[in-house]
Each structure stands twice: as structure tokens, then as C-alpha cells.
């Protein structure tokens, strides 16, 4: 191996020069944000490049970090999925953000179980109410804090947010739950989800 390649992964020598910069960008995105959205202008070329030519290479790279590569053609996305809660990707979320993820996961699961729509959308007002109903012994976050947490989830490409034209209230903001979100905290069944939920619920003596 040449001196210039000795610090790179073993597969790097097989990657043509013109593909190396987008490969670095794709891997950095998957590690830093967890997701590449192929339905966006910036993500389409990276999605196609990895899916069609370098899936095995990226899988090899991510495996060292305790993650699997998910290629989702239906939703046109790539995702670095943690294998366990020891993965650094999950540790990036605070307790409040984890609670929000759990609420969003249930909203996604309920909608996908009852509807055939690919898109799962709710308002911040609806999300706040779902949080309150899910964690009835925990004070729901202020909506400004909710907006801040959604901003972080948006940076990780787990949700999209938008404001309807003419809206003046934060509660009117629209949240789209992306299919990448359920994989961040995957559950085999609703029962396993409820077990995790109970872990965060304070006891009667604590509340």
C-alpha cells in the first residue's frame, strides 16, 4: 500500500479519485447526522452513489462504530442504525430529547398501523398533547423548548418542520416524522416500547 493510503480504510484504494470526495461527505453525514435523505437535492447523488456502488464499503466502515447501514429504497434514504444503546449516536440525545423521541415513535407507529400514507405529520400543539398523554407524571416541555429539541432532531434528519403560510403561533408549526426516526430507537414490538416507556415514568412517590 502506498504511503498516501496507509491511514485510510482497506477499501479506499478501490475507490476512484472522482468518488472519494463524495464518499467522505457521505460517511461524514452518516456519522454526524445519522441519515442521508435521497429525496433532497443535496442528498440524491450521495444516496445513489452509495446504494449503487459502495454499499459494502460503507457497511464495513460503520460496523467498526457499532452501526449497520440501512438502505431504504421506499423512502429513498440511507441511515447509520445503532446496533445497541452503547453506540455513540444514541448518546447524543439528552433525557428530554429521548422522551420526545419516544413520543414521536409512538405517533409514527400508530399512524403507520392505521393509515397507508407514507407521510406522518402532526402539529406542535398535537405533539405537545401527545407528550402530556404519554408521560402523565412528567411536566410537558414548554413549546419553545420543544421547538429547540425538534431543531436538533431536524439536524439529525429524523424530522422535518415547516410553518403553514400565515401561521402566527408556534403550536401551528407542522412536524413531519421521517422514517429514519423509528430506527434510532427500534423496538421489536409495542410491548418492548411500553417497557422502555415505563423506565422513564416516575413512580407515584416521585411524582
User: What's the CA gap between 35 and 124, in Å, rounded?
Assistant: 23
Q: Is 77 helix (H, G, I), strand (E, B) or coil?
A: strand
**Do residues 54 and 22 make contact, with C-beta atoms less than 8 angstroms apart?**
no
Other CB atoms within a 10 A radius of the CB of residue 47 amount to: 21
Listed range (9-13, 145-149, 161-165) with the worst mean pLDDT: 9-13
| pLDDT band with cut points at 50, 70 and 90 for residue 206 | low
Nearest in space to 99 (alpha carbons), one of 64, 128, 125, 59: 128
pLDDT above 60 (res 90): no
Q: Render pLDDT for 167-202 as a digit per residue (tens, 0 to 9).
A: 889 999 999 999 999 888 778 788 888 888 888 888
| pLDDT band with cut points at 50, 70 and 90 for residue 11 | confident
**pLDDT, position 3:** 44
**pLDDT, position 69:** 95
User: What's the CA gap between 114 and 109, in Å, rounded?
Assistant: 9
Question: What is the DSSP annotation of 155-182?
Answer: HTTSEEEE--TT--SGGG-EEEEPTTHH
User: What single-letter DSSP state applies at residue 139?
Assistant: P
Q: Render pLDDT for 123-144 as a digit per residue (tens, 0 to 9).
A: 999 999 999 999 988 999 999 9
Which helix H or strand E contains 89, and what residues bound it? helix 88-91
Q: Render pLDDT for 35-77 as a digit per residue (tens, 0 to 9).
A: 999 999 989 999 999 999 999 999 999 988 888 999 999 999 9
**Mean pLDDT of all residues in 75-104:** 81
**Do residues 174 and 162 make contact, with C-beta atoms less than 8 angstroms apart?**
yes
Calculate helix-pair angle for 17-32, 55-63, nearest 10 degrees: 40
**pLDDT, position 89:** 54
Calculate helix-pair angle for 17-32, 41-49, nearest 10 degrees: 110
Nearest-10 Cα torsion for 140, 109, 30, 19: -150
Q: Render pLDDT for 147-158 as a digit per residue (tens, 0 to 9).
A: 999 999 999 999
**Mean pLDDT of all residues in 85-114:** 81
The rounded radius of gyration (Å) of the Cα atoms in the chain is 19
User: What's the CA gap between 44 and 68, in Å, rounded?
Assistant: 20
Half-sphere exposure of 150 toward its Cβ, with a 13 Å CA cutoff? 26
User: What's the CA gap between 46 and 37, in Å, rounded?
Assistant: 9
**pLDDT, position 137:** 87
Q: What is the pTM of this model?
A: 0.78
**pLDDT, position 9:** 74
User: What's the CA gap between 38 and 45, in Å, rounded?
Assistant: 7
Q: How far out from the chain centre does Cα 206 lie?
A: 31
Amino acid at each position: 500500500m502506498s504511503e498516501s493510503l496507509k491511514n485510510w480504510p482497506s477499501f479506499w484504494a478501490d475507490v476512484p479519485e472522482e468518488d472519494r470526495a463524495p464518499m467522505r461527505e457521505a460517511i461524514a453525514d452518516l456519522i454526524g447526522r445519522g441519515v442521508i435523505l435521497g429525496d433532497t437535492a443535496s442528498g440524491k447523488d450521495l444516496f445513489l452513489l452509495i446504494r449503487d456502488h459502495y454499499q459494502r464499503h460503507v457497511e464495513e466502515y460503520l460496523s467498526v462504530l457499532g452501526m449497520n447501514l440501512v438502505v431504504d429504497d421506499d423512502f429513498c434514504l440511507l441511515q447509520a442504525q445503532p446496533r445497541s444503546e452503547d453506540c455513540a449516536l444514541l448518546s447524543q440525545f439528552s433525557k428530554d430529547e429521548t422522551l420526545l423521541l419516544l413520543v414521536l415513535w409512538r405517533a409514527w407507529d400508530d399512524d403507520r398501523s392505521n393509515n397507508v400514507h407514507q407521510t406522518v405529520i402532526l402539529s406542535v400543539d398535537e405533539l405537545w398533547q401527545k407528550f402530556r398523554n404519554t408521560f402523565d407524571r412528567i411536566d410537558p416541555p414548554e413549546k419553545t423548548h420543544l421547538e429547540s429539541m425538534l431543531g436538533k432532531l431536524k439536524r439529525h434528519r429524523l424530522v422535518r418542520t415547516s410553518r403553514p403560510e400565515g401561521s402566527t403561533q408556534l403550536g401551528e408549526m407542522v412536524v413531519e416524522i421521517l422514517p429514519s426516526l423509528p430506527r434510532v430507537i427500534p423496538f421489536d414490538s409495542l410491548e418492548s416500547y411500553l417497557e422502555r416507556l415505563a423506565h422513564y415514568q416516575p413512580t407515584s412517590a416521585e411524582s
